Structure 1
């Protein structure tokens, strides 16, 4: 799950660098780091949920 999630976020970050997504908070190309922070948090949640469950 984390491998698929990582790949999806990398693709989204690459797309955002070419053409900004236009979502609130992601209007400029330099905002791609926010996607990276979201990816790290999402992978952390998946990892913790697997460890606990």
Structure 2
């Protein structure tokens, strides 16, 4: 599963470059970096929660 998620993120980024997904805040092709930024933010939150003992 850990190898599938990065591939899905890359696939979403490539698809967004070809045809924008149309999600709120993702209307232009140049917004593809927001997918990677969101994934990095989500990983940071998960790591912080796992190390805080919650």
Please tell me whether residue 19 in structure 1 is matched to residue 36 in structure 2.
Answer: no
Please tell me whether residue 6 in structure 1 is matched to residue 6 in structure 2.
Answer: yes
Total equivalences in the alignment: 53
Q: TM-score, normalised to structure 1's length? A: 0.73
User: 5+ unaligned residues in a row in structure 1: which ranges?
Assistant: none
User: 5+ unaligned residues in a row in structure 2: which ranges?
Assistant: none
Q: TM-score, normalised to structure 2's length? A: 0.72
Measured on the aligned residues, the alpha-carbon RMSD in Å equals 2.1
Q: Which has the higher helix share?
A: 1
Greater relative contact order structure (CA < 8 Å, 6+ sep): 1
Q: Verify the 8 A CA contact 1:2 1:46 in the aligned structure 2.
A: no
